[in-house]
Structure 1
Amino acid sequence: MSTPVLPGPRLRQLPRTIKPLHRETSGSYLGRLAAANRISHQELSAHIQDPDRIHPGKLTTLHVIHCLSGHPVDRLLQSLPDLRTAELAARFTAQPFKPLPDKGWTTQPVCTRCLAGLGITTHASHHVPVSTNICLRHGRWIGRYGHQLELRTVPEVIRAQRHHYNLVRRHGQPTVTYAMAEATDISFRWWDSDRFDRRWRDRMTALSGPKWHAFKDDIELVASTYPDIVALAGLFASPHLRFLPFTGKDRDLRRFIREVRERAATGYSLEAAGNRDPLIRWIEEEPSDRSLPFYPWRPPSRPAPEQVNIP
């Protein structure tokens, strides 16, 4: 399909152009385009907004990038999803691309090894599902602030990313996001009291050596705790397993606790837990949480007691 002819460009194409990356953010692409032409992002922004160069009126970001880069509009819409609107996609593409939904996606730095393989030495950002924490091709944890971590010494962390993706495919993003928040809260409450923390401490040693120390938001600590959190989230995300403590049957409660032990808390028992244990609190409070508007499960039709008797 030929690209429709646009009005005469009101911005000249820059001397050097570069290809946009798959699902790259428009801001990232403009920054890389500026760097390729050895000008700052601020200088490029001033050039775009100069009223002597853009007349009359203001160009859309899509048309600005089209003029500066020389790439066809349909190719830009394919690569830079935050430029898409239903109207633009229908107008300029043979098979309209849907805009990214507001929920379920986030922006993240691109793996630096992926960029190096493309001959790119600058940083870039792209849109990824919110469940993405690791570049599976290169086994690297991608931190929020550009810090990236090699995971070759802890392959179980890489496997946890695949498990996370599988949970999303099976149960849906809203359900898994809710379950991950529950699992994170319970797990960190255990670890704050030095319980059930051997596995993630072993991973920290593998990543940072025997004399490691870390704060709660450090990338090494977040990566080390990820497998246990995903494993526990898998229990909470499953409608069948989630409601086992609430059937009124002792064997179902015992199976639920067995799943907790096998997934995330070796040695866990109800008898030793105590009333302040975060999992006990979760069991006590979960029935009332079902009234929350964003609660993603439909409780089973069989009657469930309002309160669970914990031995």
Structure 2
Amino acid sequence: MTTRFILKLSCPDQPGIVHTVTGFLLEQGGNILTSAQHGDAAHQRFFMRIEFECARPVEAQALRQAFAGHAERLQMDWELVASAAKTRVLLLVSKLGHCLNDLLFRVQTNHLPIEIPAIVSNHRDFYQLAASHNIPFHHFPLLNASEEQKQAQERKIREVIEENRIDLVVLARYMQILSPALCEYLSGRAINIHHSFLPSFKGAKPYHQAHERGVKLIGATAHYVTSHLDEGPIIEQEVARIDHSMPPEQLVAIGRDVECVTLARAIQWHAEHRVLMNGNRTVVFR
């Protein structure tokens, strides 16, 4: 039981939404601490996030049950959680560890409000790093590109997800394409960091592609994973200025710093329930 909660919701735009929500909070003895809302006129959809505090400790499930009738009447997609509940995150990584190391440090220093119960990789490179943070490391190799081995490896990943009650999967430079079945299973709860300012320079070696085109800005994109490669709803993007004198290798080094910052922001906003889906876009209440 606790006193502070977060309610986020989206629904068809219509009169009385804010009145219904605030009236419900008043009935529950709730005091609003922060509130943000957005109306998408093009799609006639309304989005809202409220953090509130109750006068007395109460269970989140009890509040969900009390609110369910209002949500059904207004056709809401919604979530109500205790503010203090930490998101349980599974990190997937391959052979580039800059994002992994950055996230582990942020968690260790209490700058990222998540828990990391496990790390999965198709290589063994970072088992010692995981051990230094007392996090179980699962090595699920992919020795060939056969469909059978791919399915077997993804079944093991799903077992880790279910055994550890994972809320969010993060592809921290995990250089494998997830199957459509796994993408569907993780819909809305898997974040990828792409080393490009999408939608430009998709696929492999985007920094080298950017160098060839002579761009003046490079960036990184954190987005939700879908079965369409590098096309999921974008959560956050960041850029860095470059110039003609920089070789591709320098762009890669600069880009890695940008990737770390971009991914950490996206994870934090997801963990704080600030991200709402709007078709193939997102609404982010920062």
TM-score, structure 2 length as denominator? 0.24
Bigger share in helix: 1
**Higher radius of gyration, 1 or 2:** 1
Higher relative contact order (CA 8 A, sep 6+): 2
TM-score, structure 1 length as denominator? 0.23
